[in-house]
Amino acid sequence: MKIEKICVMGLGYIGLPTGSLLANRGYKVHGVDVVQSTVDTINQGKIHIVEPDLDTFVQSAVNSGNMKADTKPAPADVFIIAVPTPFKDNHVPNVDYIVSATKSIAPYVKEGNIVILESTSPVGTTDLMEETLKKEGVDTSVIHFAHCPERVLPGKIMHELVHNDRIVGGTTKEATKETAAFYKTFVKGEVLETDARTAEMAKLTENSFRDVNIAFANELSMLSEKFGINVWELIELANRHPRVNILQPGCGVGGHCIAVDPWFIVDAAKGDANIIKTAREVNDYKSEWVVEKIKNQALLFEKEEGKKAKVACMGLAFKPDIDDLRESPALYITRRLIADGVDVMAVEPNIKVFSDFEIVDYQKAIDEADIIVFLVSHKEFIDIEIDQDKEVLTFCKLDVKRKVPVA
């Protein structure tokens, strides 16, 4: 089947880069998002998220006429669903966005189309997508359904969309073959073929593996504090072993993938995913541990100085040099401190305005705060010099420079 038109459902951190990449490869791309302001921004050739090189891709895609955005789907040869998959209370997966997006394309799907789920999902969601269209009156026997999970790193998405290996799993062998052939038109990495359920589990497995390893590093950091050990030095020394590669601890784990996906396995396993569940609990607890450390330092300052401490929370994103706040432990910590009555100056160089509280310039925060807390190692923080009399707490790998007092 000749593929010319692509309909991308969801123009967020995956859908927009994917759509703009495909448009620059000559495909006609119809992007869909439920937020009108997002649609308007993209149709102006601009972007609503921070991601290196994405602005160039979108501007080129729109100016060429190969990409346009709308709030409603349109007929296409390939439909790509890239909508959020959060969880409900008690970490139960929420596939409502996927079901809604699938229903919305029902009037436009025709024989020979490929319907691809890129959203990270619980095992069986691709089958659910097929069942949803069938209930909407679509003859699904003539449609190809497949799952191809995204596996890109924020900050390097445009490169990794092309160069990373991809996993393609169809609900039938023919669906796998047709979908893999489509990805091979723009992916330079290897396109690996399997079935839909294995593809779904592969993505969950990748992120659970990383979560378990980060949990080990985070637990080490809390134990090191207890034992009076510098955790950064400890890890550096341990990693000199030829078969040891411990990751770096942080203030928790964030992002839509690692902080969420392992719960999909835990929920489905019904008590049999013990290591994965424990790792999630350790990483969630690390944020609570950080909150208590900051609050204790603020109380100590107030006791010694006789005034309430101003605390600068340096960084809100879930990782360095992006604006992505999804499941961010740094944002959670900042909100918790504010809710608990701490006088907080919130700093995030990649965001100008935030609805919940004021974003403060990082240099102003450094100058005015009594306690400076580094939660994210943004590039802006690397060369900052801080007065010797300032209290500094560092929960990310960052060498803090101190100003030499003037004689």
CATH number, domain with residue 275:
3.40.50.720
pLDDT at 101 over 80: yes
Whether residue 23 sits in one domain with residue 88: yes
d(CA 37, CA 315): 26
Query: Does some domain include residue 226?
Result: no
pLDDT at 404 over 70: no
pLDDT at 406 over 60: no
Whether residue 131 sits in one domain with residue 249: no
pLDDT at 353 over 90: no
Whether residue 357 sits in one domain with residue 301: yes
Catalytic residue among 28, 203, 277, 319: 203
pLDDT at 400 over 90: no
Half-sphere exposure of 228 (CA within 13 A, CB side): 0
Domain final residue pick, 189, 215, 244: 189
Q: Give me the residues paired with residue 117 across strands.
A: 81, 147
| 293 catalytically annotated | no
Q: In this predicted structure, what is the pLDDT of residue 98?
A: 98
| φ/ψ bin of 306: left (φ > 0), alpha (ψ from -120 to 50), beta (otherwise) | left
Condensed to tens digits (0 to 9), the pLDDT of residues 176-208 reads: 999 999 999 999 999 999 999 999 999 999 999
Average pLDDT over residues 43-53: 93
Domain final residue pick, 189, 223, 247: 189
Q: Name the pLDDT band for 405 (thresholds 50, 70, 90).
A: low
Query: Does some domain include residue 331?
Result: yes
Domain residue limits at 317: 231-402
Tokens in use for 208?
A: 């659970």
Query: Does some domain include residue 165?
Result: yes
Average pLDDT over residues 146-174: 95
Q: Name the pLDDT band for 90 (thresholds 50, 70, 90).
A: confident
pLDDT at 309 over 80: yes
Structural domain count, the chain: 2
Query: Does some domain include residue 199?
Result: no
Condensed to tens digits (0 to 9), the pLDDT of residues 204-235 reads: 999 999 999 999 999 999 999 999 999 999 99
Mean pLDDT of the chain: 95
Whether residue 137 sits in one domain with residue 14: yes
Whether residue 49 sits in one domain with residue 175: yes
Average pLDDT over residues 391-398: 93
| 251 catalytically annotated | no
d(CA 145, CA 130): 7
Whether residue 292 sits in one domain with residue 151: no
Whether residue 130 sits in one domain with residue 54: yes
Q: In this predicted structure, what is the pLDDT of residue 407?
A: 53
Lowest-confidence region among 78-82, 107-111, 154-158, 263-267: 154-158
SS (H, E, C) the chain: CCCCEEEEECCCCCHHHHHHHHHHCCCEEEEECCCHHHHHHHHCCCCCCCCCCHHHHHHHHHHCCCEEEECCCCCCCEEEECCCCCECHHHCECCHHHHHHHHHHCCCCCCCCEEEECCCCCCCHHHHHHHHHHHCCCCHHHCEEEECCCCCCCCCHHHHHHHCCEEEEECCHHHHHHHHHHHCCCCCCCEEEEEHHHHHHHHHHHHHHHHHHHHHHHHHHHHHHHHCCCHHHHHHHHCCCCCCCCCCCCCCCCCCCCCCHHHHHHHHHCCCCHHHHHHHHHHHHHHHHHHHHHHHHHHHHHHHHCCCCEEEEECCCCCCCCCCCCCCHHHHHHHHHHHCCCEEEEECCCCCCCCCCCECCHHHHHHHCCEEEECCCCHHHCCCEECCCCEEEECCCCCCEECCCCC
pTM of the model: 0.89
Whether residue 272 sits in one domain with residue 182: no
Whether residue 237 sits in one domain with residue 157: no
- 28, 66 contact by CB (below 8 A): yes
pLDDT at 403 over 80: no
Whether residue 178 sits in one domain with residue 235: no
Whether residue 260 sits in one domain with residue 157: no
With CA atoms as reference, report the closest residue to 261 among 309, 203, 183: 203
Catalytic residue among 7, 148, 251, 257: 257
Instruction: Give the list of residues 6+ apart from residue 324 with CB closer than 8 angstroms, or none.
Output: 13, 49, 50, 154, 255, 317, 318
